[in-house]
Amino acid sequence: MPVTGRELRSTANGDGTLSLALIDVTLDDPAADEVIVRVEAAPINPSDLGLLLGPADIGSLRTGGTAERPEATFAIPPARMASMTSRLGQSLPVGNEGAGTVVAAGEGAQHLQGKRVGMLGGAMYADYRKLKLRDIVVLPDGASAADGASLFVNPLTALGFVETARMEGHKAIIHTAAASNLGQMLQKICLKDGVPLVNIVRSDEQAKMLRAIGATHALNSGDTDFPAQLVDAIVETGATVAFDAIGGGSLGSDIVQAMEQAASRTMTEYSRYGSNTFKQLYIYGALDLSPTTLNRLSFGFQWSVSGWLLTPFMGKAGADVVGRMRQRVLDELTTTFASHYSRVIGLAEALDPDVLRGYERKATGEKYLIDPTRG
Amino acid sequence: MPVTGRELRSTANGDGTLSLALIDVTLDDPAADEVIVRVEAAPINPSDLGLLLGPADIGSLRTGGTAERPEATFAIPPARMASMTSRLGQSLPVGNEGAGTVVAAGEGAQHLQGKRVGMLGGAMYADYRKLKLRDIVVLPDGASAADGASLFVNPLTALGFVETARMEGHKAIIHTAAASNLGQMLQKICLKDGVPLVNIVRSDEQAKMLRAIGATHALNSGDTDFPAQLVDAIVETGATVAFDAIGGGSLGSDIVQAMEQAASRTMTEYSRYGSNTFKQLYIYGALDLSPTTLNRLSFGFQWSVSGWLLTPFMGKAGADVVGRMRQRVLDELTTTFASHYSRVIGLAEALDPDVLRGYERKATGEKYLIDPTRG
């Protein structure tokens, strides 16, 4: 029996606007290796906002539609329309991951009927989602949908950072926007695995919170002596790789510069080409949409600044490593990989102006969970 | 018998000045595996200027000393003093490479007496240079000192670009400031090796000159439709790696963006993470000292911007590859790797204000050669 439900869609239009709407979608019966899941929890991650809102100007929000089928429209700043070309006119579903209950199962999947599962694969901001078996994971007994909603993006990203550092021979890690859910997971992983971590945050409260879960290095980038603190922490830990969620501005550049300053402390002879220490900055987020500024003259020549994204990382790491990572997430679901949500909203509420402005702020410590069963 | 001669020295001082001077240096008899070479030709490469003048403000030039022992002093802009810390107060010799005649040879090197050799190893802006045998190469019969003066830096760098591209699986290359001596060598190598090359220059004359030596793609970044031309050239060649001599500003960013635009032409489905095409920008020079600006939101996530430097590249490539590269330079010394000098100056002349301002401009097509035997 086909199932009909709502699905949140984002469309960038040729007239320079971006619109959000809920449309009705009907799912046919699942094939042999498929299930239909009633979505009960789906987080709003920063990586979802990129697709949901793109570079839209939130200040220009106009609302329409009805209470049950709300609509929201924004202006896209003209300078950012170039990056929209390849999605213009396409009604795109949103939501990378979620969790819920299997309400229909194909021939080969009858044993999953009624089970609670975690899901990966997009289009999670919806009442129902049809998925292949490879894209779901049965949750441990007793786990709630909220427990299993963020099983993939943050946990695998945090584990991916540590794997990347290992694969490339770095012995310690620097992380920015480190008080995030992802940042807390990374701190817990690093503690378990004995990998030194330098956390960079934007307030003393965030630094205190990280210390409370075991952080040795939690630096406030607002401190006047932050640059010196950072060099000291790098000398102490030997960090030569950084993962940066912010992207814009010069913080990433400041980190590479601090790594070079730390390296040059041990140099016995001047070289105009800088140290022999290879320094890697990975940009994995875009909390700041402004351009990245690299003051590279202070880096020497042994440096690299690169994009980091989970999917190609997993492709490179291979099935064995990814399998090990996924198992660890399940094993430590309610400890290392516990997520905290500051607010649970319904699907229609995601288009409410006040709610929308709330999750768009991407404030650290604030995280929204969509539960479509709330309406 | 010890030999005494002049040597050019550059010193960054704690008072915020940088001074150049000629000092007398006495070389003891060479050891068994050493020779003393009378320097007859040493090029002023952009990479030498970094050590010679560093970030000094050329407009602040003050001269002193005598005609035979001139001195020059400059102010270092305060903002750039941080990058000078590790060389403060050190009297540093300058000049990466050169050529000349062996005037004294150790026990195991008697066969080299009187031979003309190319040299690598710094301190070439001098009357005499003592070197290990591994740092010299006997020039082919009939080669002048000028022919052999630029045997290493530009030829090995140009070959290193092609080797890097091959090692990393790129099938075509983009090069900026491409009308330079190095750029011409790269074009000749790429023609011989069948590697498509997209040259970016700053004038129609430079583009014409490159076409005259066989370039298919020679784009003037000043053209109003340069961005579209660049995307077309990338689509045509499949270039996914660029070597950038400029470093500052946004040209490097524009190149990565053009690579992404070229890649997205073949995408059938929108992805907010951009294309799966990995795009690499290497910055190997600093013709523009200003910060690098990356408009990374148009890159997707599959990109890397890195420093490129000859010495670590050779370490990574290994002795076999480097041996093959060096042999090729000798084999094609007066063809592929011929250098052109717009002016030959004496050692003392290198400190003459007008001459100094001339080579400091780093104008494409202008290249200075120091011949210390001219005084």
Alpha-carbon dihedral sign for residues A20, A25, A31, A35: positive
The answer to whether A294 contacts B298, with C-beta atoms less than 8 Å apart, is no
Q: For residue B15, what are the contacts with CB-CB under 8 A and spacing of at least 6? A: none
Distance CA B147, CA B140 (A): 10
- pLDDT tens by residue, A244-267: 999 999 999 999 999 999 998 877
Q: Please give the DSSP secondary-structure letter assigned to residue B126.
A: B
Spell out a b/e string for A338-359, using b for 16 or more CB atoms within 10 Å of the CB, else e: ebebeeebebbbbbbeebbebb
The answer to whether A304 contacts B299, with C-beta atoms less than 8 Å apart, is no
Token pair listed for A180: 């995030």
First-to-final CA distance of chain B: 22
Band of pLDDT at residue B274, cut at 50, 70 and 90: confident
Question: CB-CB: which of B276, B297, B309 is closest to A273?
Answer: B309
Give me the residue label for tokens 């890649």.
Answer: B263
Q: How far is B229 from chain A (nearest CA, A)?
A: 17
The answer to whether A272 contacts B87, with C-beta atoms less than 8 Å apart, is yes
Alpha-carbon dihedral sign for residues A316, A319, A325, A329: positive
Distance CA A327, CA A349 (A): 34
What percentage of chain B reaches a pLDDT higher than 70? Answer: 100
Could you tell me which chain B residue has the CA closest to the CA of A260? B83
What percentage of chain B reaches a pLDDT higher than 90? Answer: 85
Distance CA A336, CA A334 (A): 7
Burial class (CB in 10 A: 0-12, 13-18, 19+), B22: buried
Could you tell me which chain A residue has the CA closest to the CA of B10? A272
Q: B71 near B351, Cβ under 8 Å?
A: yes
Could you tell me which chain A residue has the CA closest to the CA of B94? A272
Q: Provide, as residue numbers in chain A, all residues whose Cβ is less than 8 Å from the Cβ of B281.
A: none
Distance CA A203, CA A205 (A): 5
CA distance to B50, B311, B336, per residue, from B289 (Å):
11, 22, 30
Statement: residue B364 has pLDDT above 80: no
Distance CA B286, CA B291 (A): 10
Give me the residue label for tokens 């001669």.
Answer: B5
Distance CA B124, CA B62 (A): 24
Distance CA B312, CA A170 (A): 18
pLDDT confidence of residue A1: 81
Burial class (CB in 10 A: 0-12, 13-18, 19+), A50: middle
Parallel, antiparallel or unpaired: strands A197-201 and A217-220: parallel
Q: Provide, as residue numbers in chain A, all residues whose Cβ is less than 8 Å from the Cβ of B294.
A: 291-294, 305
The answer to whether B304 contacts A304, with C-beta atoms less than 8 Å apart, is yes
The answer to whether A291 contacts B293, with C-beta atoms less than 8 Å apart, is yes
Residue B176's closest CA among B264, B50, B286, B311? B286
Distance CA A159, CA A190 (A): 9
The answer to whether B305 contacts A298, with C-beta atoms less than 8 Å apart, is no
Question: CB-CB: which of A302, A305, A312 is closest to B302?
Answer: A312
The answer to whether B304 contacts A306, with C-beta atoms less than 8 Å apart, is yes
The answer to whether B297 contacts A289, with C-beta atoms less than 8 Å apart, is yes
Statement: residue B340 has pLDDT above 90: no
pLDDT confidence of residue B83: 77
Complex ipTM more than 0.85, yes or no = yes
Three state DSSP letters for A215-250: CCEEEECCCCCHHHHHHHHHHHHCCCEEEECCEEEC
pLDDT confidence of residue A292: 98
Alpha-carbon dihedral sign for residues B89, B95, B96, B100: negative
Please give the single-letter amino acid code of residue B68.
E
- Looking at per-residue pLDDT, the higher value among B81 and B171 belongs to B171
- Looking at per-residue pLDDT, the higher value among A340 and A205 belongs to A205
Q: B157 near B243, Cβ under 8 Å?
A: no
The answer to whether A307 contacts B305, with C-beta atoms less than 8 Å apart, is no
Statement: residue A197 has pLDDT above 90: yes
Q: Please give the DSSP secondary-structure letter assigned to residue B312.
A: H
Question: Would you say how long chain B is, in residues?
Answer: 375
The answer to whether A302 contacts B297, with C-beta atoms less than 8 Å apart, is no
pLDDT confidence of residue A81: 86
Residue B244's closest CA among B192, B287, B282? B282
Q: B80 near B55, Cβ under 8 Å?
A: yes
| β-bridge partners, B132 | B34
- pLDDT tens by residue, A47-97: 899 899 988 999 999 999 998 899 999 999 998 887 788 889 999 999 999
Q: B95 near B370, Cβ under 8 Å?
A: yes
Give me the residue label for tokens 């441990």.
Answer: A140
pLDDT confidence of residue A79: 83
Interval A357-372 mean pLDDT: 87
Distance CA B335, CA B188 (A): 9
pLDDT confidence of residue B54: 84
Q: How far is B113 from chain A (nearest CA, A)?
A: 32
The answer to whether B291 contacts A291, with C-beta atoms less than 8 Å apart, is no
pLDDT confidence of residue A370: 98
pLDDT confidence of residue A86: 80
Distance CA B135, CA B112 (A): 13
Token pair listed for B108: 């195991």
Residue B24's closest CA among B47, B43, B2? B2
- Looking at per-residue pLDDT, the higher value among A375 and A198 belongs to A198
Distance CA A306, CA A288 (A): 16
Distance CA A225, CA B81 (A): 19
- pLDDT tens by residue, A105-144: 999 999 999 999 999 999 999 999 999 998 999 999 999 9
Token pair listed for B229: 């031309």
pLDDT confidence of residue B226: 98
- pLDDT tens by residue, A37-49: 999 999 999 889 9
Tell me which of B297, B313, B314 to substitute to probe the interface with A (most A C-beta atoms closer than 10 Å): B297
Element (H, E) at B20: strand B17-27
Q: Provide, as residue numbers in chain B, all residues whose Cβ is less than 8 Å from the Cβ of A85.
A: 264
Residue A186's closest CA among A145, A205, A214? A214
Q: B64 near B21, Cβ under 8 Å?
A: no
**Number of C-beta neighbours around residue A60 at 10 A:** 13
Interval B117-130 mean pLDDT: 96
Question: CB-CB: which of B80, B292, B309 is closest to A296?
Answer: B292
Tell me which of B270, B282, B290 to substitute to probe the interface with A (most A C-beta atoms closer than 10 Å): B270
pLDDT confidence of residue A362: 74
Question: Would you say how long chain A is, in residues?
Answer: 375
Question: CB-CB: which of B283, B294, B303 is closest to A291?
Answer: B294
Could you tell me which chain A residue has the CA closest to the CA of B285? A301
Token pair listed for A138: 């049965």
CA distance to B190, B315, B316, B325, B327, per residue, from B320 (Å):
21, 11, 11, 9, 11
The answer to whether A273 contacts B311, with C-beta atoms less than 8 Å apart, is yes
Band of pLDDT at residue A10, cut at 50, 70 and 90: very high
pLDDT confidence of residue B68: 87
Tell me which of B48, B277, B295, B305 to substitute to probe the interface with A (most A C-beta atoms closer than 10 Å): B305
- pLDDT tens by residue, B38-60: 999 999 998 899 899 988 999 99
The answer to whether B307 contacts A309, with C-beta atoms less than 8 Å apart, is no
Distance CA B230, CA A56 (A): 28
Band of pLDDT at residue B169, cut at 50, 70 and 90: very high
Interval B170-178 mean pLDDT: 97
Q: A244 near A279, Cβ under 8 Å?
A: no
Residue B47's closest CA among B271, B352, B285? B285
Distance CA A76, CA B297 (A): 14
Q: For residue B304, what are the contacts with CB-CB under 8 A and spacing of at least 6? A: A304, A305, A306, A307, B278, B279, B280, B281
- pLDDT tens by residue, B7-41: 999 999 999 999 999 999 999 999 999 999 999 99
The answer to whether B82 contacts A293, with C-beta atoms less than 8 Å apart, is no
Tell me which of A45, A256, A270, A316 to substitute to probe the interface with B (most B C-beta atoms closer than 10 Å): A270
Token pair listed for A312: 């190609």
Mean of pLDDT over chain A: 94
- Looking at per-residue pLDDT, the higher value among A175 and A289 belongs to A175
Domains, in order of start, for chain A: 3-150+340-374 (3.90.180.10), 154-315 (3.40.50.720)
The answer to whether A297 contacts B54, with C-beta atoms less than 8 Å apart, is no
What 3-state class would DSSP assign to A85? helix
Mean of pLDDT over chain B: 94
